[in-house]
Amino acid sequence: MRNSLLVVLALTLVGPMYCAREALATPSGLNNIPTADVVAEQVLVLQGFSEFGPAREPSWFAGFKYGPAANWEVGIDDASLGPGSAGGPVLQAKYRAALAPNAALGLGAANISADSDRNGDVYPYAVISAALGRIGGHLGYSAQKNNNAWFVGADGAVSQSLTLRADWTQVADGEESVSSLGVIAPLAPRWLVEGWASFPSAEGARTRYVVKLDYVVSLGKR
């Protein structure tokens, strides 16, 4: 029963983000955007994922996110597992503040690294998430250097074992955008699988695909 509750909780908490330079630590969110959700206190989510698509070699990532205290989340990813890797690990942190029983504000920063030349600049953001009946809605803004961007998304469970997620974000300082559509589902106790396709608006840009595995474990007292 405990394992099932952890998996249900994690269904709303995982998901990486899009970046033209591929290196962003992955705060809890949808496909390519963060949300106001955070990992529960003393819960650890281990992650491994691959991004691939036409005319490109797959990129491989590994990382984790953790709830060190109530309403806080920290994480780290490393893209050094495949060709064209980024410059070492990248970090992220987020704080969640309740606005109402069904709404919250998330304040965070992702893509924190010691090598901004290879990984890109820090990605500070603010996002509001709200439960709108059976649908979750998310609206936010990032103030990343030379890439200020609005983003929006929605997610909803179509069954106890399948959640659909869609999002849209500006890129290239608002000159282009990326939309995506994906799913997340439990595979086994503590295990989840995610998958989505991203559709860049830039002329000549190819669709990108991500497949991801998550392992969820509680480190709190039993």
Per-residue pLDDT at 25: 62
pLDDT tens, residue by residue, 127-177: 999 998 889 999 999 999 988 999 999 999 999 899 999 999 999 888 999
Question: Measured between alpha carbons, how far is 191 from 120 in angstroms, rounded to an integer?
Answer: 31
pLDDT tens, residue by residue, 116-129: 777 788 999 999 99
CA quadruple 76, 80, 82, 85: dihedral sign: positive
Q: Where does the chain have alpha helices with state H?
A: 2-10, 116-119
Residue 80 CB coordination number (10 Å): 13
For residue 61, what are the CA distances in angstroms to 47, 86, 153?
A: 8, 10, 24
Q: Which residues in the chain come in under a pLDDT of 50?
A: 1-12, 16-23, 84-85
Per-residue pLDDT at 11: 45
**Count of helices and strands (H, E) across the chain:** 2, 12
Helix, strand, or coil (residue 24): coil
Contact by Cβ (8 Å): 190, 215: yes
CA-based end-to-end distance of the chain: 13
Domain residues of the chain, as ranges? 2-218
CATH superfamily, with its number, for domain 2-218: monomeric porin ompg (2.40.160.40)
